[in-house]
Structure 1
């Protein structure tokens, strides 16, 4: 996932992350009220299980020592090990990790996975560090986490500004700390690894594929097709690129893109692969792409289109930006891109929203497949992975769609209700120790 915003000052950052926590709690309480969640279980799910904050030193290339702060929040593990990404971004702090960890709990539960929710990362702008420095930072962070992660306890994955290389460093560092006889059995301590190092074929495109498939299923529910549908993407990283890739193959047309560096538009269409190749030669930026016009950051939200895919950071669709949106469908590729006030504006205007815990769940489902592959000593090929992924995603989408219709609620509330009820059932059946 690409960085969307420039480095934020501390005051702005606090407002942003506080908003994310407020959002997730309001969404949770709305669903909990709808299903009459047991008060005691509501108490448990309203807080996190564990919150880990680590300050650790790393030697830079010039010999100086720099101190970094890393986080790992473990929200709930009633259904299985904690599962969730690690992001490297200046906005990472304990409040952000709390909100994101809660979202992961609902996401894994909705997908029917044997996981709970966790999240974390390092408060850092990775663009300011060399590859060798990022490797040392990652390995030192992994060592500091020590026994707080593990293949049957807490399983990190890539997130904003982390990738398969990051996961390979984490896996290697973690396995190096285990007794020799146990090292090979701990390869699934992380998911999202390179295919040659225990990773899963297709993991790179899984989240974007899930976004695309969710959109396709919604369009089909409207007795329509994707052909000639105009869409725009906020964030042209892994999720945004792959979602656009699959949509374009179905005949849809990319008309606008925004990343950390700027916004571009071309109503005649932006060829996805051409733009992707351009970013490789332009330091990852879409700016000055010759086949589109540069537009203002705020103008981006008002671009005329059918589908909007926010696939960057949280709190992008607000009461200020939501009224500008002309799309009739918002498909949340990012985690928490729409705040509560922004959502109210969209729903009032009749804009449909495919919620993040459903729309971008392809990544964690593929992570589960990778975890199983490592755990069982198997090797799954691309076609098998994509078929299994599509089946799982369709099942989740249909469940949410039916629940929303039967209960006359929006799709986010429906998704939360299904996810929370599954966790509630586990607590009722097992009881509370002691």
Structure 2
């Protein structure tokens, strides 16, 4: 029986992300006439790990946590994907996110497969010391299920560079002293002082901005004075907004988990960022803005909408409310299949997640290479490399879209799946 939630007095069946990603995969498999045997392989995950582990809290009590790591496919290289800490995370959500990572790394032309993981918890309810113990115990429990040439985690929702530093340190401490430095790249997204990449913090949001910029150039549209709204003002949403504002665009609405604000005259990205730093990460209470209903946020008059929060936010129940002519998916799976069909019929363009937010995993690849080769890259060099790589991927998606008369998501999936299919055909299937 479907779980339902009430929005504007309408009952909305809640569609899971796994259902969404499977619909997308089935549609793309039909477009490329995917080999039936390879389709069977890609339709399931390689490995699914569920871990229950105890951690002692600050008050001396022991709490049991549930952690996940799903490895979807590694035909193109080591598994790669983030770790998120969120109370709603479950095995189906992680399976969907792992599958999206497979398509994302394949589309970007990286030597990676797809994975995802996390812990079912609300990090705001735990102290920093508790979060460190939880993270280290989870990393220890994962053991050899992760590794720099096997499965490489990264930050995701509610995790950050500090989280990655704890995981790297825990993992390296299990190795012989002579081997520890060789395992620094077991995770990416680390602090700069622990082998992290300059600019990794902004790579995903910068990538979102770049794909919008490429789209605008293709459409011969100027971003100056264009209006945009952002759902989720975390790392991705902030950096995307930061670079758009520098381009002359104006932010007119923001939504986070605690509320929605708007101002048609514009909301300063940098001032709001400072406000959130002093307000436990929340946008509420920001001066000179109006507070609006959660669902009314989708109907704000704007040119560009950047969903950069969680999955399945744009549904058939709010798709018709959207005024934007472009949706740039900073989050993974923010748009359901039904909503996308409605939006495309309205003439709305959608830059799909596996393209739009791939700057993060491209940045992770740069960090992995930097650690692996014992190099240090400078910020300007990294941003230039990211721009060059993402521009190449965007061009391929655009060319496929136009030559095959497909929307951007379908074109991106065609490229991603064909690359994996080619690898299986060339290598064969063991035994």
- TM-score normalised to the size of structure 1? 0.96
Equivalent-residue separation in structure 2 for 1:306 and 1:158 (angstroms) = 30
Residue 17 of structure 1: how far off its partner (Å): 8.2
Matches within 5 A, 1:319-334: 319-334=316-331
Equivalent residue for 2:312? 315
Contact 1:188 1:375 in 2 (8 A): yes
Residue 285 (structure 1) aligned with residue 282 (structure 2)? yes
Equivalent residue for 1:389? 386
Residue by residue over 1:88-112, the C-alpha shift from the partner in whole angstroms, topping out at 9 and shown as x without a partner, is 0011111011000000000000000
Equivalent-residue separation in structure 2 for 1:306 and 1:270 (angstroms) = 15
Residue 291 of structure 1: how far off its partner (Å): 2.3
Residue 35 (structure 2) aligned to one of 24, 38, 42 = 38
Choose 216-225 or 160-169, whichever is displaced more.
Answer: 216-225
Contact 1:17 1:95 in 2 (8 A): no
Equivalent residue for 1:266? 263
1:203–1:17 Cα change, 3 Å: farther
Equivalent residue for 2:25? 28
Residue 226 (structure 1) aligned to one of 204, 223, 230 = 223
Residue 197 (structure 1) aligned with residue 194 (structure 2)? yes
Choose 15-24 or 309-318, whichever is displaced more.
Answer: 15-24
* 3-state SS of paired residue (1:183): helix
Equivalent-residue separation in structure 2 for 1:201 and 1:177 (angstroms) = 27
Residue 416 (structure 2) aligned to one of 416, 419, 431 = 419
Residue 93 (structure 1) aligned with residue 86 (structure 2)? no
Contact 1:19 1:339 in 2 (8 A): no
Structure 1: which 5+ residue stretches go unaligned?
Answer: 1-9
Contact 2:228 2:252 in 1 (8 A): yes
Contact 1:109 1:423 in 2 (8 A): yes
Equivalent residue for 2:427? 430
Matches within 5 A, 1:243-392: 243-392=240-389
Equivalent-residue separation in structure 2 for 1:283 and 1:36 (angstroms) = 50
Equivalent-residue separation in structure 2 for 1:257 and 1:276 (angstroms) = 11
- TM-score normalised to the size of structure 2? 0.97
Equivalent-residue separation in structure 2 for 1:99 and 1:296 (angstroms) = 29
* 3-state SS of paired residue (2:16): helix
1:17–1:321 Cα change, 3 Å: closer
Superposition RMSD on alpha carbons, in Å? 1.2
Residue 11 of structure 1: how far off its partner (Å): 5.0
Contact 2:15 2:312 in 1 (8 A): no
Residue by residue over 1:397-425, the C-alpha shift from the partner in whole angstroms, topping out at 9 and shown as x without a partner, is 01001100110111000000000000000
Residue 16 of structure 1: how far off its partner (Å): 8.7
Equivalent residue for 1:410? 407
Equivalent residue for 1:160? 157
Contact 1:18 1:95 in 2 (8 A): no
Contact 1:308 1:331 in 2 (8 A): yes
Q: Which runs of 4+ in 1 moved over 4 A?
A: 10-13, 15-18
Equivalent-residue separation in structure 2 for 1:146 and 1:414 (angstroms) = 38
Contact 2:3 2:14 in 1 (8 A): no
Residue 211 (structure 1) aligned with residue 208 (structure 2)? yes
Equivalent residue for 1:118? 115
